[in-house]
């Protein structure tokens, strides 16, 4: 919200000028009273404008504070998500290591079975020929 005080100030000056012109007819005391009223009116209008500006600022500060809270919450949620992804990656890494170990053991077992199969074939072949 942008306040345009120039119009209010111009009105106040116009009132003071009008009062000055009338002062010639009313004398110095009448002039002083009218000038005082005009200045008080202009001052109260400006005070109202300042009060409105402070209300607008308070509203904007409140909105900014709420946005900061939402950003903070979002950042915490993102941190939690990153931690969960890190745990998942660590679990996948562990599973990969276990799979590698298992594959090595399977290879060793298959190699031993191949050797045993050859040994069995050598033992059985002479008996099959007979």
- Does 14 map to a domain? yes
- Does 121 map to a domain? no
Closest C-alpha among 11, 45, 16 to residue 32 = 16
- Does 101 map to a domain? no
Instruction: Count structural domains, the chain.
Output: 1
SS3 88: helix
- Does 118 map to a domain? no
* pLDDT tens by residue, 28-85: 556 566 666 766 766 667 777 777 888 888 899 999 999 999 999 999 999 999 999 9
* pLDDT tens by residue, 4-20: 556 556 666 667 666 66
Q: Is the predicted pLDDT of residue 2 greater than 70, yes or no?
A: no
- Does 24 map to a domain? yes
27: left (phi over 0), alpha (psi -120 to 50) or beta: left
pLDDT of residue 52: 85
Range of the domain at 73: 1-96
- Does 130 map to a domain? no
- Does 54 map to a domain? yes
């Amino acid at each position: 919200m942008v306040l345009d005080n120039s119009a209010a100030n111009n009105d106040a000056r116009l009132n003071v000028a009008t009062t000055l012109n009338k002062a010639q007819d009313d004398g110095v005391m009448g002039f002083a009273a009218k000038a005082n009223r005009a200045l008080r009116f202009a001052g109260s209008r400006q005070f109202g404008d300042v009060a409105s500006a402070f209300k607008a600022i308070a509203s904007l500060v409140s909105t900014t504070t709420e946005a900061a809270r939402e950003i903070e919450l979002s950042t915490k949620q993102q941190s939690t998500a990153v931690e969960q992804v890190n745990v998942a990656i660590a679990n996948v890494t562990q599973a990969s290591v276990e799979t590698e170990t298992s594959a090595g053991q399977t290879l060793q077992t298959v190699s031993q079975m191949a050797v045993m199969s050859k040994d069995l074939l050598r033992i059985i072949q002479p008996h099959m020929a007979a």
